[in-house]
Amino acid sequence: MTKKVTGLLLMFVFSMYTWVGLAQSSVGQIDNERNITDRGEYCDAWSDPEGYESIERVVAGGVDNETINTGYADYTDMVMEIERFEPLDITVTIGQTLTSSTTVVCYIDWDQNMVFDEGYVQLFAPIFSREFSGEIIVPSNQYQGSTRIRIRVGYYPVPGEVPPPCDNDWSGEVEDYTIQILDEESLEITAGSETICQGETVNITSTVVSGSSNLSYSWTSDPAGFTSNEADISVIPDITTTYILEVNTGSNILTDQVLIDVLEAPIVSIIADDTICLYNTVVLDAGDDGVEYLWSTGETTQTVSIDPSDYGVGSHLFFVDVTGENSCVTTDSIYIEFIDCTGISELEKSLDVNIYPVPSDGVFNVSLNAMENMDLEIMVMNMTGQVVFNKMTNISGMRHLVIDIREQAKGAYQLVFKNRDQFFARRLIVK
């Protein structure tokens, strides 16, 4: 059964020994009596069948072969199947003499260059056991298809030595087999998180198993609207969206998709005026779309009252984190400028103001006389700092305005005049 594997790993089980020296000559096939004949392009390897150690049985990847010692045997018509990136268990049973110096190694021509030049896999056995076992894993740069595996056993009592892949030896045995890589192309895409809140970014990566180095990527979405030709993407979906990837390997079209579930986040917009007289109180409102609130001031209510005198003249930042029913959090912030509306400013020196009647039923006549041309913002604020009237005007000389706030509640109000960074205020009373 083929399994999907998502990692690339080259794993060899090494002993404390290493082998040195490669001798290359010609190697090929043998007849049914396993006599040495022309062996093609692989290097020659043979051991004296009268010597110590022999291979009695090989079990791996669908091969279960009981053998007799002939020094060298060609079993390349027997194919061991190995899945890419999946460990292959191999067991070699030793016959004849078994000593503590018996050594079993496997050489595999992974790059298919007819040379066993990529190290070895050494097999090990429990004490007094004749069964030597280990694991073989296909390296990440292995070509597709089949290649040769050479199993060699020998008597090597000297530390630092193991049977080499080539040359003749007075002990042991050599057997060659074919190893076939089961290499089905596959695609898997993975999202950093498949459930996110509105406004969050999610990274989606793709993993392709293919022998092809010329891959083309095509991303689309459902609902439609997103496209990309990159292998990996970062997206900020507003609603639940399926992202679909097609990869063209040259021989196949691989397809995979992932659903990103987008949870609604609370809608937050702090309601407040951004300019307040120092002696007024301002109320900040985060709206009623949350179930939990946390203000920069430490309060945990939907609204908070701010006393400007606690902060002083200047611009101050306030923010709130609002948690919704889905545990999604939205943050909003506001800068509020607290101004000293008392005293005589430069603006007040250059602008004469006459207000009548005061108090009134909510209609006030305002006569202005500007000593110079100026842009003027005129605001009426209630005692919580809310702006109930606002007007921008350019004035030079005399100007008459009517301010109507009869729809507002009875009480005290501030009439603020602002030009750039200059302010002053007058008190209004609605009876």
CA atoms 69, 72, 77, 82: torsion sign: positive
Q: What pLDDT is attached to residue 48?
A: 83
**What are 261's strand-pairing partners?**
195
Q: What pLDDT is attached to residue 40?
A: 53
Q: What pLDDT is attached to residue 331?
A: 92
Q: What pLDDT is attached to residue 26?
A: 27
Q: What pLDDT is attached to residue 411?
A: 79
Contact 76, 37 (CB under 8 A): no
SS (H, E, C) 269-304: CCECCCEEECCCCEEEECCCCCCEEEECCCCCCCEE
Taking the CA of residue 5 as centre, how many other CA atoms within 13 Å lie in the half-sphere pointing to its CB?
19
Contact 87, 96 (CB under 8 A): no
Q: What is the DSSP string of 3-69?
A: -------------S----------BEEE-TT--EEEETBSPPEEE-TTSS-EEEEEEETTEEEE---
Residues 6 or more apart in contact with residue 18 via CB below 8 angstroms: 160, 161, 162
What would you report as the CA-atom Rg of the chain, rounded to the nearest whole angstrom? 42
Dihedral (C-alpha) 135, 140, 144, 146: value to the nearest 10 degrees?
-30
Residue 417 CB neighbour total at 10 angstroms: 22
For residue 187, give the nearest of 233, 236, 246, 227 by alpha carbon.
246
What is the rounded CA–CA span in Å between residue 134 and residue 59? 11
Mean pLDDT by 10 residues, the chain (431 residues): 32 29 28 34 86 89 92 94 86 81 92 88 90 90 80 86 89 92 85 94 92 88 96 96 94 92 90 75 87 94 91 88 93 84 70 89 92 90 84 91 91 84 80 84
- Spell out a b/e string for 210-239, using b for 16 or more CB atoms within 10 Å of the CB, else e: beeeeeebebebeeeeeebeebebebebee
- The whole-model pTM stands at 0.47
User: Between β-strands 411-419 and 363-381, what pairing exists: parallel, antiparallel or unpaired?
Assistant: antiparallel
Residues 6 or more apart in contact with residue 113 via CB below 8 angstroms: none
